[in-house]
Homo-oligomer: A and B are copies of this chain.
Amino acid sequence: MEEKCTNQAYLELMQTSKAIQDCIKMEMMNHKINITEFSVLEVLYFKEKQTIQQIGKSILISSGSMTYVIDKLEQKGFIKRIDCPNDRRVIHVVLTENGMNLMEKIMPKHRDLINNMLGDLTDQESQTMIKLLKKVSKRVET
């Protein structure tokens, strides 16, 4: 029997994460936003006020994409840009009233969704998974 063409753990890992990703994508479509936009809103929901740079680093997208997504969210009225008086290169971003309302509507359901998807794992299993994934991450980065 020939060796399995690709690492099984690898396949499982990539398929599972994609399935989760797709699930969240669908969830967000209901609110007329995409995953990237949600990620930005999520950062702001927890951090309140962030520079465009900081958000980009959090969610790992390029500066060009940041400008684009921030524009979109501003057009939709969920966030607003605030010029920084101390450093005029910098622009801060915060949720608007609307943005906050949206997030307060979305987040509980979103948390449930995540917890439900990961929810068959016992605490013990969850810890094991985290440990194993960290081991892999460490290896990938180097």
The interface of chain A, by Cβ under 8 A from chain B, is 5-10, 12-21, 23, 46, 60, 111, 114-121, 125-126, 128-130, 132-141
Contacts and interface: CB of A to CB of B under 8 A. Distances in A.
A119 B15 CA distance: 19
B139 A119 contact: yes
Contacts of A116: 139
B133 A120 contact: no
> In this complex, which of A7, A14, A111, A126 has the most chain B Cβ atoms within 10 angstroms of its Cβ?
A7
Nearest to A119: B139
B6 A129 contact: no
B120 A9 contact: no
B121 A132 contact: yes
> In this complex, which of A9, A12, A137 has the most chain B Cβ atoms within 10 angstroms of its Cβ?
A9
A142 to B, nearest CB: 10
Contact of A20 (B6, B10, B119): B10
Contacts of A6: 111, 114
Given A115-B7, A116-B139, A139-B120, A129 B21 contact: no
B10 A114 contact: yes
B120 A13 contact: no
B133 A117 contact: no
> In this complex, which of A23, A118, A126 has the most chain B Cβ atoms within 10 angstroms of its Cβ?
A118
